[in-house]
Amino acid sequence: MYVPTTIKIVALKSNFNHQGKIPLYLRFTQNRQTHRISLRKRISLSSWIDNGKMYVRERGALAAENGRAINLFLKSQIVRAEGIMLEAERKNQTLTFRQFKDQFINIRSQDFFIFCREEITKRESSEKYSKQTIKSNWLRLKKLKSFRSNVCFLDINLQFLEDYEVYLRVKRKNSINTIFAAMKFIRTMLNAARKQKITDIYPFDEYKLVYEKNTRERLLNHELEKVQCIYDENQLLTRQQKVLKYFLFACYTGLTWGDLVSLDYEEIERRGAIAIITKKRQKTGNQFIVPLISQAKRLIDLTQKRGKVFPKILSNQKANQIIKEVISSAKINKKISFHCARHTFGTVALNKGIPRESIQRMLGHSKEEMTKLYSKLQDETIIQDMQKWENDNLIVEYKQNLSNDSLSTYDNLRGQMIASRIIKGISEGEIAVRLGINEQKYKKMENGELQFGMAHFLELGKYLKLDTKALFNQIL
């Protein structure tokens, strides 16, 4: 038999917290017995009005923070509660408070997909989550729907997760880490629902996520040079040439796909001849800077002041397919995707002697210990560190351009350097430290077993107080 029940939103005015705010409850009254369900919201007492049209003030000096959002939320809770009671009345049933609470709080029969849609939509309006994260969430929800068209919270148990894993592995041919990401999405949504007191279901105490640690593929320096040569030859199809340009730019800057797509010329700062990307990472919001080396500059039009650097870019999936085609044509036996460009940047930069701290700052890593370290790094330090990559390029160009006719010039120049060092009484060890190499290697350079690079000559010229301009002209 149906027993009349009243539902109302109330503020518990006597229960202030340390911020002076009072809690909001859903009051359930039946047979003169009153029960309350916390709505996990607090407001200032002065903002509470409950005048039939709204619960809290939305405007004026006494308005509640996010007053409109709070009113919409409270009205939705009343609609939800009244819907439960109307359904019981339609069936001529009387719900006890415990039964009502089970439906209102735990909502064990609630559609899991509806909750996911609402939660992802809510996250879309938050600056906490990147566009790529939101996009991934929608794709993982779509994948779950392909497995089962309707899912309630009550359905999500150990057997459900195991069946979904088999579906992903067998039917969709997903890898271990792709399955991990799909399962992690379900866990994330369940944790959000538990935090909101919507459900207490959590089968992940029994089901363990499996992640396969692997060595991320990357191009080594000679492989990167090989790919650059393919681009310079300009013999690829138009779409391949265009995507390869994006890939190479990412290799020289460490940008992710999302950061590359969103890169605007306004985010490239000019400091004389130096160009620097100053940007926030799409994924984490962390600020990072990357000085552009000459190879990167040649791939874009630095005369532009605004607008997308790479307009009308293809999708990440299509770009990955094309990059695989190009890498395969280069006879490089590696599984390279676009994201590998980021790892290539880190590896090549490290091999060229750029400090790990500067590399991490340029990559925009988000770990707390990294953030503390970044605060000590000035932009000028990173610019100087990236010059090591540029200097290494000059050395390569110098060796490539060194003809037989210029070998005698090289030997004469080496002799001048050695003579100047001896006359000034400077030891080989001191010069080695200046050049950032070990003493044994420097001795081999003086003996002619190893070649001096252009950058070495220029640095020695400054240190020995020689005419560096004249030296530069001799080298070229």
Q: Where in the chain are the domains?
A: 5-104, 112-205, 221-393, 402-475
Note the pLDDT of residue 369: 46
Is 70 exceeded by the pLDDT of residue 370?
A: no
Using one digit for the tens of pLDDT, what is the confidence trace for 22-75?
A: 999 999 998 889 999 988 888 998 899 888 788 988 888 888 888 888 888 888
Helices (H) and strands (E) counted in the chain, each on its own, are 20, 6
Is residue 91 left, alpha or beta, with left meaning phi > 0 and alpha meaning psi from -120 to 50? alpha
Q: Write b or e for each residue in 428-456: b if 16 or more Cβ atoms lie within 10 A of its Cβ, otherwise e.
A: beebbebbebeeeebeebbeeeeebbbbb
Using one digit for the tens of pLDDT, what is the confidence trace for 249-285?
A: 999 988 888 888 889 999 988 877 788 888 887 777 7
Note the pLDDT of residue 305: 87
Mean pLDDT, rounded, for 147-171: 90
The owner of tokens 């909001």 is 24
Mean pLDDT, rounded, for 313-336: 87
Per CATH, 112-205 and 402-475 having the same topology is answered no
Using one digit for the tens of pLDDT, what is the confidence trace for 405-419?
A: 444 556 666 777 777
Is 60 exceeded by the pLDDT of residue 373?
A: no
Q: Over 48-88, what HEC string results?
A: ECCCCCCCECCCCCCCCCCHHHHHHHHHHHHHHHHHHHHHH
Note the pLDDT of residue 412: 66
Least trusted range by pLDDT, from 38-47, 196-205, 362-371, 395-404: 395-404
The pLDDT-based confidence of 140 (bands split at 50, 70, 90) is very high
The pLDDT-based confidence of 365 (bands split at 50, 70, 90) is low
User: Reduced to 3 states, what is the DSSP secondary structure of residue 280?
Assistant: strand
**Fold type of domain 402-475:** 434 Repressor (Amino-terminal Domain) (1.10.260)
User: Reduced to 3 states, what is the DSSP secondary structure of residue 34?
Assistant: strand
From 390, 385, 394, 384, select the one nearest 453 (Cα to Cα): 394
Choice between 287 and 36, residue whose per-residue pLDDT is larger = 36
| Domain 112-205 grouped into CATH 1.10.150 | yes
- Give domain 221-393's CATH number out of 1.10.150.130, 3.40.50.11810, 1.10.443.10, 2.40.37.10: 1.10.443.10
Give the C-alpha distances (Å, rounded to integers) separating 445 from 351, 398, 472, 473, 476.
Answer: 21, 16, 19, 21, 19
Using one digit for the tens of pLDDT, what is the confidence trace for 413-447?
A: 677 777 777 777 788 888 777 777 778 877 777 77
From 205, 175, 179, 177, select the one nearest 190 (Cα to Cα): 205
Is 70 exceeded by the pLDDT of residue 338?
A: yes
273: DSSP letter: T
Is 70 exceeded by the pLDDT of residue 473?
A: no
Q: What is the number of other CB atoms lying within 10 angstroms of the CB of residue 10? A: 16
Mean pLDDT, rounded, for 228-252: 90
Mean pLDDT of the chain: 80
Enumerate residues 6+ apart whose C-beta is below 8 A from 232: none
Distance CA 444, CA 430 (A): 15
DSSP assignment of 449-461 equals SSPPPHHHHHHHH
Note the pLDDT of residue 154: 76
Q: What is the C-alpha radius of gyration for the chain, rounded to an integer number of angstroms?
A: 32
From 262, 265, 268, 264, select the one nearest 282 (Cα to Cα): 262
Is 60 exceeded by the pLDDT of residue 364?
A: yes
pTM above 0.85, yes or no: no
Is 60 exceeded by the pLDDT of residue 472?
A: no
